[in-house]
Chain A
Amino acid sequence: MSKNVSAVKDFTKGLWEQNAVFKQVLGMCPTLAVTVSAINGIAMALATTFVLVFSSMIISLIRKLIPTQVRIASYILIIATFVTIVDLVMKALFPELSKALGPYIPLIVVNCLILGRQEAFSSKNGVFRSVLDALGMGAGFLLALFMLGGVREILGSRTLLGFQVLPNLYEPWLVMILPAGAFLTLGLLMAYFNNREINKKTKQREAILQKHLSSKQSPAVEGGEA
């Protein structure tokens, strides 16, 4: 039973608790560069997840064979192999998408998110848990990229996934699809989530305080009644 719980935890922690973009600030280059539209963000996140899952699998399989001194180089080589596969497949099947993402697909090789997971998780855990961890991290990355791409696409070109969502009356903010828009949107989103967390924590603290106070008060009240 406890094994099941920890397996679920391996997956879900990447979704939000340790979200790569919002919480760990990893993998920023693709996050900021390709999120001009939601569809680009999704494609990028899926490609990254593919590379992450397969390299996590291979690395956790051979983790005992890799000497520690050359581990980083071996990880990067394995990652680069899968990135080459993704790049060739995308060029063949989705030429337009591949063109839109441009050099950012090969740059998955140096995405710190992937190397970070190998170093922190796959090199220490079994295949099953590593794959779950990679899937969770990938899903969290997808969530973040979709959010960022969605906001920028709606405000910058009135559409979401290619469908118009805002009326023509609305004048698109050009800045949103420019590089500056990426920085500003991510900064504001991050501040929003920080704010929510701070509010939640203060509420929790107040609740504990209230409980404490009322438990102190109640015997006195009872005493008064008696």
Chain B
Amino acid sequence: MELFLIFLSAAIVNNFVLAYFLGICPFIGVSSKLSSAVSMGMATTFVMTITSIVTWLIYHMILIPFNLEFLQYVSFILVIASLVQFVEMFIKKVSQPLYRALGIFLPLITTNCAILGLALFIILREYTFIEGIFYGLGAGAGFTLAISIMAGIREELDLADVPKPFQGAAITLIVAGILALAFMGFSGMISV
């Protein structure tokens, strides 16, 4: 039950994109088509889950025993960068169509702040190993949810008559603001 609450809290109540502003770059950059948004969400979720496992192990098995906590950021970002590289190679080998669909988005995941943010939040909130995995899964699901909703809205928006000054990033930000208002309705539901 506890684990389920952590998952829900990360996915909906404290949505990474709409409440913590993590992963805004892909949220704005890759949300113009629903299909690519969903694949981006899936890839991010995958990397997030593995990251939460690996960074937890590194922090608790290597950095703490050797008193190297100050190396957190350097080691985490290295791990994430190499993980993304590994995932890219893996997908290329296993599924060519998926690799072509994800294309440029895969390397971009390295600089997605949601990934590093996730690793830092897990340390900050002192989650156990299992809790960390569920938190990572939840954060990924939340990211996928937010970016898919956004892409859906933007596909509709293409048909709308947007005033000239608002075209481009401005209208996207305002839509995101309204979406964040809607997600605020969930706040206070779970306090994890």
Q: How far is the CA of A72 from the CA of B181 in the complex (A)?
A: 37
Which residues of A (177-208) have their CB < 8 Å from a CB of B?
178-184, 186-188, 190-192, 194-195, 198
Residue A161 is within 8 A (CB to CB) of chain B in the complex: no
B184 touches A180 (CB 8 A): yes
State the majority secondary structure of interface residues on B. helix
Residue B46 is within 8 A (CB to CB) of chain A in the complex: no
Residue A166 is within 8 A (CB to CB) of chain B in the complex: no
Residue B86 is within 8 A (CB to CB) of chain A in the complex: no
A77 touches B78 (CB 8 A): yes
Q: Which residues of B contact A107 (CB under 8 A)?
A: 22, 113, 116-117, 120
Task: List the one stretch of B23-31, B49-57, B96-104, B134-142 in contact with chain A.
Answer: B23-31
A191 touches B165 (CB 8 A): yes
CB distance from A110 to the nearest CB of B (A): 5
Among B18, B20, B169, point to the contact of A25 (Cβ < 8 A): B169
Residue A80 is within 8 A (CB to CB) of chain B in the complex: yes
Residue A142 is within 8 A (CB to CB) of chain B in the complex: no
B165 touches A106 (CB 8 A): no
Q: Which residues of B contact A178 (CB under 8 A)?
A: 180, 184
Among A33, A76, A192, point to the contact of B20 (Cβ < 8 A): A33
Chain A: residues with Cβ within 8 Å of the partner, total of 41
Q: Which residues of A contact B61 (CB under 8 A)?
A: none
Q: Which residues of A contact B116 (CB under 8 A)?
A: 106-107, 109-110
Say whether, besides A73-B81, A110-B77, A183-B180, A88 and B28 are in contact (CB < 8 Å): no
B70 touches A88 (CB 8 A): yes
Residue B83 is within 8 A (CB to CB) of chain A in the complex: no
A187 touches B170 (CB 8 A): yes
Closest partner residue, chain A, to B82 (CB atom): A73
Closest partner residue, chain A, to B70 (CB atom): A84
Residue A6 is within 8 A (CB to CB) of chain B in the complex: no
Closest partner residue, chain A, to B167 (CB atom): A194
Q: How far is the CA of A77 from the CA of B77 in the complex (A)?
A: 8
Q: How far is the CA of A195 from the CA of B168 in the complex (A)?
A: 12
What are 20 A-B interface contacts by the 8 Å CB criterion? A28-B24, A29-B24, A32-B21, A76-B110, A84-B73, A103-B117, A109-B73, A110-B77, A111-B113, A115-B111, A182-B177, A183-B174, A183-B176, A186-B173, A187-B170, A187-B171, A190-B170, A191-B163, A194-B164, A194-B167
Binding site for A on B (CB under 8 A): 18-25, 28, 70-74, 77-78, 81, 110-113, 115-117, 120-121, 124, 163-174, 176-178, 180-181, 184
Binding site for B on A (CB under 8 A): 25-26, 28-29, 32-33, 72-73, 76-77, 80-81, 83-84, 87-88, 103, 106-107, 109-112, 115, 175, 178-184, 186-188, 190-192, 194-195, 198
